[in-house]
Chains A and B, each alone.
Chain A
Amino acid sequence: EDQVTQSPEALRLQEGESSSLNCSYTVSGLRGLFWYRQDPGKGPEFLFTLYSAGEEKEKERLKATLTKKESFLHITAPKPEDSATYLCAVQGNNAGNMLTFGGGTRLMVKP
């Protein structure tokens, strides 16, 4: 059974204070690892897909990296508008077409 654990559960940063969110996973053959952003009461917004260890992707202040056991979402010089819950999900070879999500990291960036 695929499993995803995200840490920390919550993270408070000052504006401009860079940090990283962790996503640890176990999966029977990784087809893809996905990062989403979710604002309160809304649906998740797609950010990145990573397919293999060593891959990196960037978008504005966000950079996602992938190893064989975990993924990191690095946030450089965050702004208050980056405050949201960040969700990590995996799709494995034996999981059909389902995404298995972690519990998310709730990020709060204070001005």
Chain B
Amino acid sequence: ETGVTQSPTHLIKTRGQQVTLRCSSQSGHNTVSWYQQALGQGPQFIFQYYREEENGRGNFPPRFSGLQFPNYSSELNVNALELDDSALYLCASSPLAGGEAYEQYFGPGTRLTVT
């Protein structure tokens, strides 16, 4: 069974640029969630994708956007990068969306540094 994978591992961008992060979900999982984790803090929910549509969003501005593809992989796009966007970006996959609680399995993350 293949776990959640993310690319790239590390990324350095300049303020104002745009970035795309990628995630492949765990085998058999059709739901992908993205989280932002600042240093020393817990992860914060950005949004979730299910059946290629956004299925819930946290308190993040519209310059954070995403996609999910037919194979359930996903992208997180961030436009007009700000210094505060520097963080570990985590992708998590799960087998279902809605209804009962379900475990989310996390990838290793992408460390984004904005200078």
Contact = CB atoms under 8 A, between A and B. Distances in A.
Nearest to B41: A103
Interface stretch (B14-22, B78-86, B96-104): B96-104
Contact of B106 (A43, A96, A100): A43
A43 B90 contact: yes
A41 interface: yes
Interface stretch (A13-21, A44-52, A59-67, A72-80): A44-52
B100 A98 contact: no
B42 A96 contact: no
Interface in A24-74: 31-32, 34, 36, 41-46, 49, 51
Contact of A44 (B6, B43, B56): B43
Contact of B45 (A4, A42, A98, A104): A98
B109 A101 contact: no
- Interface bracket on A: 20 to 34
Contact of B101 (A49, A87, A100): A49
B41 A44 contact: no
Contacts of A41: 88, 109, 111
Nearest to A9: B40
Contact of B58 (A44, A91, A98): A98
Given A97-B48, A97-B56, A99-B45, A32 B101 contact: yes
Which 5 A/B pairs are nearest by Cβ-Cβ distance? A32-B101, A101-B42, A96-B56, A43-B106, A98-B45
Interface of B: 4, 6, 31, 33, 35, 40-45, 48, 50, 55-56, 58, 88, 90, 92, 97-98, 100-109, 111
